[in-house]
Chain A
Amino acid sequence: MKKLVSLLFAVLLPTSALAADKALTVKGSDTMVILVQRWAEEYMKKNPDSRLQVTGGGTGTGLAALINGTTEIAAASRPMKDAEKQKLRARFNTLGQEFAVAKDGVTFYVNAKNPVASLTVEQLRSIYLGDVGNWKELGGPDQPIVLYSRENSSGTYVFVKDELLKGQDYAPTAQTLPGTAAVVNAVAKELWGVGYGGAAYAAGIKPLKMKLGEGTEVSADLENVKSGKYPLSRNLFFYTRGRPSPEAKAFIDFCLSPEGQQVVSKVGYFPVK
Chain B
Amino acid sequence: METAVPIQLTAPRATPASRRRMLKEKLIAAGITAVGFTGIAAIVLILVFVAKEALPLLLDPDARHEASFAKMFLPQVVREGRPATFMWQPVSDIPKVSMIPLFVGTLKVTAVSMLLAVPLGIAGALFASEFAPRRLREFIKPTVELLAGIPSVVLGFFALMVLATPMQELFGFTYRLNAVVAGVGLALAIVPVIFTVAEDALTAVPRSYREASLALGATQWETAWKVVLPAAAPGILAACVLGLGRAIGETMIVLMASGNAAIVSPAFGDSVRSLSATIAAEMGEVVVGSPHYSLLFFIGVELFLFTFVLNMVASLWTRRMVGRLSGKVA
Contacts and interface: CB of A to CB of B under 8 A. Distances in A.
Interface of A: 57-58, 60-61, 64, 144, 146-147, 151-153, 157-158, 161, 167-170, 172-178, 186, 189-190, 193
Contacts of A189: 164-165, 176
Interface residues of B, number: 34
A112 to B, nearest CB: 15
B79 A169 contact: yes
Given A158-B91, A169-B96, A170-B89, A175 B281 contact: no
A152 B88 CA distance: 11
Contacts of A151: 260, 281-282, 285
Contacts of A175: 175, 177, 259-261, 271
A131 to B, nearest CB: 10
A176 B260 contact: yes
A176 B79 contact: no
A152 B282 contact: yes
A147 B263 CA distance: 12
Contacts, number: 78
Interface in B240-280: 255, 259-264, 270-271, 273
Given A169-B78, A175-B271, A61 B260 contact: no
Nearest to B175: A146
B263 A173 contact: yes
Given A152-B285, A175-B259, 14 more contacts: A57-B284, A57-B285, A58-B285, A61-B284, A144-B174, A152-B90, A153-B281, A153-B286, A172-B87, A172-B88, A172-B264, A173-B261, A173-B271, A175-B175
B177 A186 contact: yes
Given A169-B92, A178-B281, A146 B87 contact: no
A249 B273 CA distance: 44
A95 to B, nearest CB: 19
B165 A153 contact: no
A172 B86 CA distance: 9
B263 A172 contact: yes
19 contacts: A61-B285, A151-B282, A151-B285, A152-B285, A153-B91, A153-B284, A158-B91, A167-B93, A172-B89, A172-B261, A173-B261, A173-B270, A175-B175, A175-B177, A177-B259, A177-B260, A186-B176, A189-B176, A190-B176
A190 B178 CA distance: 13
Contacts of B287: 60, 64
A181 to B, nearest CB: 13
A168 B94 CA distance: 9
Contact of B285 (A60, A144, A168): A60
A146 B285 contact: no
B101 interface: yes
Contacts of A167: 92-93
Contacts of B285: 57-58, 60-61, 151-153
B282 A153 contact: yes
A146 B96 CA distance: 22
A158 B93 CA distance: 11
A190 B96 CA distance: 28
Contacts of B262: 172
Nearest to A176: B260
Interface centre among A167, A169, A186, A189 (most CB of B within 10 A): A169
A40 B208 CA distance: 74
A152 B261 CA distance: 12
